[in-house]
């Protein structure tokens, strides 16, 4: 197979043709500043308003003016955590989040700790789930915010968002969720799920990089992160990136439109991939939840070998996968998510994330399986761990 096979869609996706077509005129035809009052400006604001409507519609926001554009998921998470903390400080200084959040949430919380806020990082079980009982136990009268991601980017586990939101609201606490990996993978209904504030990003759903949004339910108290002009109703300064916003709106509209078709396809692909891989490769484990997970992410731990080595061998065969999240890969630190679900160092280092996207086919999966089987065999043949230990031990047990 000459083709390159991209299995790193949780890191980012390509920009789809429909999205690109939506964006192109905004570079050199409809290029006004959306804050200008003349015709060029009005055309640009028309594009922005349409994107806002499309996103509000897909997530079932009550009003489109509850969508605020940002430079991506990272900014939206920073804004949610820091903005809510600062605006509600008179009520308390305690925030609850989980230990498997994206770095943009964890680092924002660390930053608040320096300012005197107290943060509780909830543990998760072996499948990556936060326990509601644990959460209830940690709520104090000073708790002002609960922030729990909808879907984990490394292992794909889906949290019980509605139950978490209800728990927050029973104690009058604001609930934020980072839905960066949920958009396009799950039906999101902010009203039904009782979400107050929600992070989104375009480049995980076939939109461009560097644009995202924060859904802020009207009435939620939140301070600005980026001060400037009157853009985004005075809540987020900076000239709007109209082409990116146009693409984001289109990408979300398509994600909503094609959700069930895409999910059916990915479910079949995932089931087939897992069946074949477990049949052909011994000593592997599925990281994450077997049922409560998105179809697009499969994270596997391979005993006795390093994930980095598998990644490099697959790369030579034109297959792109990742170890952990894109932001953390390249670092020698163990994934905080794999640590939190209780993996020992060997399994955490032996883990690979395969994240499937729209262009996957059964033929591509067959090729990936063939190359994966051979990479694992090759590496296990030369692995010092094979000789000293576990494989032999397990064999003896049989
Ligand atoms: N949250 C999660 C769960 C993510 O996976 C990512 C992207 N890796 C982000 C936030 C950050 O989004 P962005 O890349 O748009 O800044």
pLDDT value, residue 189: 98
Q: What is the pTM of this model?
A: 0.95
Give per-residue pLDDT as tens, 227-266. Answer: 999 999 999 999 999 999 999 999 999 999 999 999 999 9
pLDDT at residue 58 tops 80: yes
Give per-residue pLDDT as tens, 310-350. Answer: 999 999 999 999 996 544 555 568 999 999 999 999 999 99
Give per-residue pLDDT as tens, 83-119. Answer: 999 999 999 999 999 999 999 999 999 999 999 999 9
Cβ of residue 353 lying under 6 Å from some atom of ligand 1: no
DSSP string covering 89-101: TTT--EEEEETT-
pLDDT at residue 1 tops 70: no
- Cβ atoms of 105 and 97 within 8 Å: the answer is yes
Cβ of residue 149 lying under 6 Å from some atom of ligand 1: yes
Cβ of residue 156 lying under 6 Å from some atom of ligand 1: no
H or E element, residue 254 = helix 242-257
Question: From the alpha carbon of 326, which atom of ligand 1 is closest?
Answer: 8
pLDDT value, residue 330: 53
Cβ-based neighbours of 259, under 8 Å, separated by 6 or more: 184, 187
1-15, 193-207, 315-329: segment of lowest average pLDDT: 315-329
pLDDT value, residue 307: 95
Helix axes 39-59, 242-257, angle to 10 degrees: 30
> Looking at residue 274, what DSSP letter applies?
H
- Cβ atoms of 288 and 352 within 8 Å: the answer is no
Cβ of residue 201 lying under 6 Å from some atom of ligand 1: yes
Q: Atom 12 in ligand 1: which residue has the minimum CA distance?
A: 73
Ligand 1 pocket test: which of 181, 206, 247, 322 has the largest number of ligand atoms within 8 Å of its C-beta? 181
Give per-residue pLDDT as tens, 337-388. Answer: 999 999 999 999 999 999 999 999 999 999 999 999 999 999 999 988 775 4
Mean per-residue pLDDT, 178-192: 98
Answer left, alpha or beta for residue 172, where phi above 0 means left and psi between -120 and 50 means alpha: left
Grouping H, G, I as helix, E, B as strand and the rest as coil, residue 56 is helix
Going by pLDDT thresholds of 50, 70 and 90, the confidence category of residue 279 is very high
pLDDT at residue 394 tops 90: no
Which strands make up the sheet holding 118-122, listed edge to edge?
A: 67-70, 212-216, 197-201, 174-178, 143-147, 94-98, 118-122
Give per-residue pLDDT as tens, 139-176. Answer: 999 999 999 999 999 999 999 999 999 999 999 999 99
pLDDT value, residue 291: 95
> Looking at residue 10, what DSSP letter applies?
T
Going by pLDDT thresholds of 50, 70 and 90, the confidence category of residue 396 is very low
* Angle formed at CA 297 by CA 332 and CA 96, multiple of 5 degrees: 70
Map out the domains of the chain with their CATH numbers. Answer: 5-12+259-386 (3.90.1150.10), 17-257 (3.40.640.10)
Task: From 81, 79, 107, select the one nearest 94 (Cα to Cα).
Answer: 81
pLDDT at residue 397 tops 60: no
Going by pLDDT thresholds of 50, 70 and 90, the confidence category of residue 57 is very high
């Amino acid at each position: 197979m000459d083709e390159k096979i991209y299995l790193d869609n949780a890191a980012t996706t390509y920009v789809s043709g429909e999205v690109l077509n939506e964006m192109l005129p905004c570079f050199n035809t409809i290029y006004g500043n959306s804050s200008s009052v003349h015709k060029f400006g009005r055309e640009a604001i028309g594009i922005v308003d349409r994107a806002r409507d499309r996103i509000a519609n897909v997530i079932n926001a009550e009003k489109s003016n509850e969508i605020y554009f940002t430079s991506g998921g990272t900014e939206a998470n920073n804004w949610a955590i820091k903005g809510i903390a600062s605006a509600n400080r008179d009520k308390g200084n305690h925030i609850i989040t989980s230990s498997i959040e994206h770095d943009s949430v964890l680092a924002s919380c660390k930053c608040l700790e320096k300012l005197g806020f107290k943060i509780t990082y909830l543990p998760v079980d072996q499948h990556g789930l936060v326990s509601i009982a644990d959460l209830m136990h940690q709520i104090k009268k000073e708790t002002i915010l609960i922030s729990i991601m909808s879907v984990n980017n490394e292992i794909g586990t889906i949290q019980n968002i509605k139950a978490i939101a209800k728990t927050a609201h029973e104690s009058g606490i604001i609930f934020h969720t980072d839905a960066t990996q949920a958009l396009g993978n799950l039906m999101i209904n902010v009203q039904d799920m009782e979400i107050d504030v929600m992070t989104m990003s375009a480049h995980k759903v076939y939109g461009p990089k560097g644009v995202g949004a924060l859904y802020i339910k009207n009435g939620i108290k939140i301070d600005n992160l980026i001060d400037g002009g009157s853009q985004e109703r005075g809540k987020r300064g900076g000239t709007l990136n109209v082409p990116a916003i146009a693409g984001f709106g289109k990408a979300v509209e398509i994600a909503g439109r094609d959700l069930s078709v895409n999910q059916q396809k990915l479910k079949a692909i995932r089931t087939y991939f897992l069946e074949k891989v477990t049949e052909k490769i011994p000593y592997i484990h599925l990281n994450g939840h077997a049922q409560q997970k998105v179809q697009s992410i499969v994270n596997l731990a391979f005993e006795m070998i390093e994930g980095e080595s598998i990644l490099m061998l697959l790369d030579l065969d034109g297959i792109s996968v990742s170890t952990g999240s894109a932001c953390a890969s390249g670092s020698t630190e163990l994934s905080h998510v794999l640590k939190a679900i209780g993996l020992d160092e060997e399994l955490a280092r032996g883990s690979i994330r395969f994240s499937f996207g729209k262009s996957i086919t059964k033929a591509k999966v067959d090729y990936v399986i063939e190359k994966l089987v051979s990479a694992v065999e090759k590496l296990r043949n030369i692995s010092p761990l094979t000789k000293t230990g576990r494989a032999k031990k397990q064999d003896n047990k049989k």
